[in-house]
Chain A
């Protein structure tokens, strides 16, 4: 424990970086998932095909590879564009934070697409028809009829997606974000106690995933509160 004493603040800021990535990519995941689900449920055949290709590509490729494609791919493209404007350009990249958050959100979004699609299909079509009969607009039907019912159905799987999102954030250290794995590497170089330093990282992740699990359980209870009497 003595070896750890000087590193608490580094671990704290590392954990903050992880949580920031998590927050940004969680929002993007929901956006990508909703767009994907909308495309899969739409009548347009092109939207259907594109969404299908998206889910197959991102569910079949290792997360690490997606991250590398996004980061190095964007760097090569941006450097190429930069060279057009000024020949002195050496290397331009998207910050690892944004490249990583975006890549992780694209991956988990492809899983969320299927979850959301199933959840939208689970909403009783009679309710949507009832809303139409009452003269409620499409937009209002979406927000007041479909969303409140679908999120209850989507929550159990979406909770799992949140956990994998959290665990995928560890990969961003590979493209150079200074988060907790990076701190552990630095601390190891000084203290020569790698097991302890990496175990701290594992325990930080374990506590965050525990909190997420508890929050999802509470949300599920909240979403199903009107069903308690019925069961």
Chain B
């Protein structure tokens, strides 16, 4: 096997353009997903069944089905309905980028809400009681006692999920979006040199994963600065 390094060097600029799309998808979907996850979390822990049940069904559905299927339902499936084509969201849902963002957002919201719930449930009861004894209101307890601790507890799982999201963005290439994987696939289709291009792409992903892991590690360290070693 002889690798064509010239081809790799030639395709790096194209891949970097794809990297931009990958990043846009990742940042947009994870921010929107985090927002939706917080809403879902509040529904889950509200203690009212008419709020917690829909949130449970939502997470159950999105965690139980492959992301690829969700992307296809949104991209191929939604235009079936007349009212969606007539709605104000159509300019977004017409584009593969909008569909991929929506699918990744909905998917990550389901996973992240479970992670946040794990963090929330991990907060010691005694701290709640201490807050109560100090006369903090329910809202103050939530924001100043529970939330900071829950965030620290949730970081390791969240960083894993963020990295899975990075990998999931590659599925956007199946709906014609030219993210990094999409670019790699078009180059391979032209040159038929799968080893060079795909492995070069994989290395870029692996490096990005490493950087993200390191970044979350530092963040976790900062959030744990009050913990006695």
User: Contacts of B73 on A, CB cut-off 8 Å?
Assistant: 195, 198-199, 202
> Is A48's beta carbon under 8 Å from chain B?
no
Contact A73-B173, Cβ < 8 Å, known A198-B72, A199-B77, A210-B64: no
Per-residue CB contact flags for chain A residues 32-73 toward chain B (1 = under 8 Å, else 0) read: 000000000000000000000000110111111110110011
Please judge, given known A-B contacts A61-B202, A64-B181, whether A170 and B167 are in contact too, CB under 8 Å: no
CA distance A208 to B86 in the complex (A): 35
Please choose the segment from B93-101, B203-211, B214-222 that sits at the chain A interface, where 4 or more of its residues have CB less than 8 A away: B203-211
Contact B206 A195 (CB under 8 A): no
Please tell me if B79 contacts chain A, counting CB pairs below 8 Å.
yes
Which of B66, B167, B198: most chain A CB closer than 10 A? B66
| Number of CB contacts from chain A to chain B under 8 A | 121
Q: Give the shortest distance, in Å, between A157 (CB) and chain B (any CB).
A: 12
B68 touches A181 (CB 8 A): yes
Contact flags B62-103 to A (C-beta < 8 A → 1, else 0)? 001111111011001111110000000000000000000000
Nearest A residue to B167, CB-CB: A62
* Distance in angstroms between the alpha carbons of A184 and B210 in the assembled complex: 37
Residues A167-208 near B (CB distance < 8 A): 167-171, 173-174, 181, 184, 188, 192-199, 201-202, 205-206
Task: Write out the residue numbers on chain B whose beta carbons fall within 8 Å of the beta carbon of A65.
Answer: 170, 181, 184, 198, 201-202, 205
Q: Chain A nearest CB: distance from B68 CB in Å?
A: 5
**In the assembled complex, B195 has its CB within 8 A of some CB on chain A:** yes
Q: Which residues of B contact A64 (CB under 8 A)?
A: 170-171, 173-174, 181
Neighbour of B194 across the interface among A59, A72, A192, CB < 8 A: A72
User: Which positions in A face B, CB cutoff 8 Å?
Assistant: 56-57, 59-66, 68-69, 72-73, 75-77, 163, 167-171, 173-174, 181, 184, 188, 192-199, 201-202, 205-206, 209-210
